[in-house]
Chains A and B, each alone.
Chain A
Amino acid sequence: MKFIRRALLALGVAGAIAAALRVKGKGGVPPQQGGWRDIASPK
């Protein structure tokens, strides 16, 4: 019983860490200047 509790606790902690790692992250850098322009026909 003790072993099962420890295993479940270990799984829970591992899952929490995995979830935290999966959602963390830093933002990117936006374009400094400029924008999107329509193109003419490529033909």
Chain B
Amino acid sequence: MIVVAGTGLVGRYAVDQLRRRGHEVRSVSHNTVNEVDPVLTEVVLLAHAGDHVRTARRFLEAGCHVVSVSDDTKDVLALLDLHGDALAAGRTLIVGAACSPGLSGLLVSYLGAKFESFDEVHIAVHGTGGPECARQHHEVLSGTALGWHEDDWLRRPAGSGRELCWFPEPIGSRDCYRGDLADPLLVKHAFPHLGRISARTSATRRDRLTARLPMLTPPRVGGDMGALRVEVRGVRAGERAVEVAGTAHPMAQIAGSTAASAAHELRRQAHFGTPIAPGVLALGDAVLPNNDILDDIMQTGIRIQVFQGVH
């Protein structure tokens, strides 16, 4: 059985996708997840607001595989620290299985295969899933943004580093800024050889000016359109080259599909006696069947596109 903890937009979408694949799924809220019997559970998908680390540790120790959609930097760092717990339990914890992080790592893996070697990844994301995701987006513009630059973590104020990024239609061009995003941490975790990693999020001038204040307008209950753009730079045929991929769909659909596909793959591999290596993993990690997961996401209707032309 797969347990999905979280009844927001992303959780509900993931439940729907998993049931369509024929899994027995139990949907529980953040408050009732501790009442779940781990003995009957193979995979737990954490898609609720707030920190995931305590719940993830509990289920790992009880012998369950865990998928977390958390994109909060502190929570992601705490989840990465559960590597020892996961190894001891012989179970897998996939961290950040949403859009960015999540699908971004899969696209890095997909684009990276087009190079002889690649050393730079630049990610931009637009939009929010449900209301909790919108609150998170509001906060990421007021912290410290992490980036990886030549063997060191680069710390810059969130909201700085304006860059105009082109996303697939209907989103098009958006101003994007550095943010307190977890993507650099997880991309570095999955691709330790990279020399430069940056992540940006789209924002309006009002978003940036009010980032340090409480949210002035309530977030949309139904979420909104999201988009992801992943740019990989490397060497091909002896020359520097750039590859860009992206997608544009409702953000909850992107995140829910990615989370459901990660959980589906964990259960499928365990079912066929070829379990994924234990430990803490990020999507894109070489030990994961990244192309299978990406293909599974595309089967749910998510269009992945590449930019062909002159940048």
What is the interface of chain A, defined by CB distance below 8 A to chain B?
Answer: 19, 22-23, 25, 27-39, 41-43
Contacts and interface: CB of A to CB of B under 8 A. Distances in A.
Given A25-B175, A28-B163, A42 B308 contact: no
Contacts of A30: 164, 166, 173
Nearest to A18: B209
A39 B244 CA distance: 12
A43 B293 CA distance: 9
B169 A36 contact: yes
A43 B292 contact: yes
A3 to B, nearest CB: 27
Nearest to B109: A42
A13 to B, nearest CB: 17
Nearest to B205: A23
A41 B298 CA distance: 7
Given A27-B164, A28-B163, A35 B209 contact: no
Contacts of A19: 209
A11 to B, nearest CB: 15
26 contacts: A22-B205, A23-B208, A28-B163, A28-B164, A28-B165, A29-B164, A30-B164, A31-B311, A32-B309, A32-B311, A33-B309, A34-B307, A34-B308, A36-B169, A36-B246, A36-B305, A36-B308, A38-B303, A38-B304, A38-B305, A39-B304, A41-B295, A41-B298, A42-B110, A43-B291, A43-B295
Nearest to A34: B309
B295 A36 contact: no
A32 B294 CA distance: 29
B310 interface: yes
Contacts of B164: 27-30
A29 B208 CA distance: 22
B173 A39 contact: no
A27 B176 CA distance: 11
A20 to B, nearest CB: 11
A27 to B, nearest CB: 6
B295 A42 contact: yes
Contacts of B208: 22-23
B147 interface: no
A31 B310 CA distance: 6
B166 A32 contact: no
Contact of A22 (B159, B173, B294, B310): B159
Interface string B279-309: 0000000000001101100100001111111
B175 A37 contact: no
A41 B208 CA distance: 38
A35 B244 CA distance: 11
A42 B307 contact: no
B193 interface: no
Contacts of B303: 38
Contacts of B291: 42-43
B309 A35 contact: yes
Contacts of B308: 34-37
Contacts of A38: 303-305
Contacts of B309: 31-35
